[in-house]
Amino acid sequence: MAESTELQARETIHAGGEWRGAISGGTREILDPADALPFAVVAEGDEKDTDLAIAAARRAFDEGPWPHTPVTERAALLRRVADLLVRDREKLGRLEAQDAGKTVEEGRVDIDCVADAFRYFADLVAGEAPGRVVDAGSTEIHSVVVHEPIGVCAMITPWNYPLLQASWKIAPALAAGNTFVIKPSEITPMTTIAVIELLVEAGLPTGVANIVTGPGHSVGARLSEHPDVDLVSFTGGLISGTKVAQAAAPTVKKVALELGGKNPNVVFADACATEEGFDTAVDQALNAAFIHSGQVCSAGARLIVEESVRDRFVTELARRAEKIRLGRGTEDGVECGPLVSEQQRAKVEMYVESALKEGAVLRSGGKRPEPSAQRPENGYFYEPTVLDHCHREMRVVREEVFGPVVTVETFRTEDEAVALANDTEYGLAGGVWTADAGRARRVAGRLRHGTIWINDFHPYLPQAEWGGFGKSGVGRELGPAGLAEYRETKHVYQNLAPKPVRWFAG
């Protein structure tokens, strides 16, 4: 690993077709969370760099060809980007793993999903009708509803799934004919920089895609408030999302927010009636809670299990959690990587300490692991943690931990299970495990969450909308609704035989 003094700062701000450094000359080291050593240096932009990028996007939208490019050509470009992502899958997957701390296999899967998103939105726009005809009740009137690009889009993305979350915004925005400025998380910007390079390689016109690397308090705030931005799309935490909405309000721009989650995973006893069912439910509970070290907005961090199977279920869950192999994500055999930063690990430790003081019972984890060849001493590792005998008043149950921590609550009746699952300020996702098909549909219908998985956890479909209820945000990503977020609707009413109306004398 190179020392920070040997690393060359990259020009990572792209505005108006030019790669450049920050106007201030500022830079930031990007740390590998597995050993806390820097592996890249990027430009640290601010408000001036942001204004420059917004101006470039504005010119490209108002004066450039992209908004008027036929949808077949826009779709073809998105498909070229997907092909380039497949070509660079291994390199990008490893970069995503090093940047965010996840395993290489998780990184590869992310790149596959990004390519799928570009292909989906390419197919969606290419297959659309040119407009919806509205019957005006007269052959002399031609009335049609059409969709047009919204304009300059500001995109602010999180650190946990840098490229995946960026693709959910970039692909529909480009498909609709918009221009954009994206701000990736300042701690995981590398693959977002790489996808801008791929967009340029694919032939996207100058000024359509712009990126400013830098912190939220300057770059993100300026994007949210700037009068030349027509839409701001933010994915991240509740507090930051609230600030984005407040900054956007004076200019009455469109705002899409995908915020946090505190997601229930409800396990009924009948799902565990067979050994295979029991094994599957436990395995999926591990997947729900600990994939990417729990740093997932849709993580099944609240296990809500029927009382009659609770003891056996939690005992097996804790046993398997202790066997999860922690280490550097780029190493073979590693199943779970580090947390993204020292700050994030300290936050997780705070929540676990609070839970134990409030009466939770530690069944596994709850500490930093011993260093090893795969786990450098300075890495931000934390053991997968199971907290039993939890209740709704605990902070660890109410608030988003965003780490490898699962809490266990218990229910006796279906009504109680639904009440517990819905007892949250968030409403992003949830899971239901049962062998009773009628119960599955009944419970899913009563849960107030944007996505419900039945006898599964975590899969998503590009063609299905993704979003939440309550404090999980507003707006939708993916699916037709995800494309609609990046469009304006226009009604064109044409009178084919105009006549005077004679409303007034004269």
Cβ contact 410:307 at 8 Å: yes
Q: How far apart are CA 299 and CA 264, in angstroms?
A: 9
Nearest to 118 by CA among 195, 38, 212: 195
Integer CA distances (angstroms), 108 to 86, 87, 96, 104, 478, in order: 10, 12, 8, 6, 20
Which positions are catalytic? 258, 297
Beta strands 429-433; 451-454: pairing state: parallel
Integer CA distances (angstroms), 201 to 84, 120, 181, 298, 316, in order: 9, 20, 18, 33, 50
Phi-psi region of 475 (alpha: psi -120 to 50; beta: other; left: phi over 0): left
Judge residue 146's burial from the number of C-beta atoms within 10 Å of its C-beta, 0-12 exposed, 13-18 middle, 19 or more buried.
Answer: middle
Nearest to 164 by CA among 114, 103, 119: 114
Helix (H, G, I), strand (E, B) or coil at 47: helix
DSSP string, 336-351: B---S-HHHHHHHHHH
Which residues, 6 or more positions from 472, have their beta carbon under 8 angstroms from its beta carbon? 258, 259, 260, 261, 426, 427, 428, 449, 450
Q: How far apart are CA 389 and CA 410, in angstroms?
A: 8
Cβ contact 241:234 at 8 Å: yes
Helix (H, G, I), strand (E, B) or coil at 465: coil
Q: Looking at this protein, which amino acid is placed at residue 278?
A: F
H or E element that contains 155 = strand 152-156
Judge residue 446's burial from the number of C-beta atoms within 10 Å of its C-beta, 0-12 exposed, 13-18 middle, 19 or more buried.
Answer: middle
- The distance in angstroms from the start CA to the end CA of the chain is 85
Residue with tokens 């690009």: 149
H or E element that contains 192 = helix 190-202
Based on its alpha-carbon atoms, the radius of gyration of the chain, rounded to whole angstroms, reads 25
Q: Looking at this protein, which amino acid is placed at residue 2?
A: A
Q: How far apart are CA 210 and CA 226, in angstroms?
A: 15
Token pair for residue 163? 């490229």
Angle, nearest 10°, between helix axes 307-322 and 275-290? 60
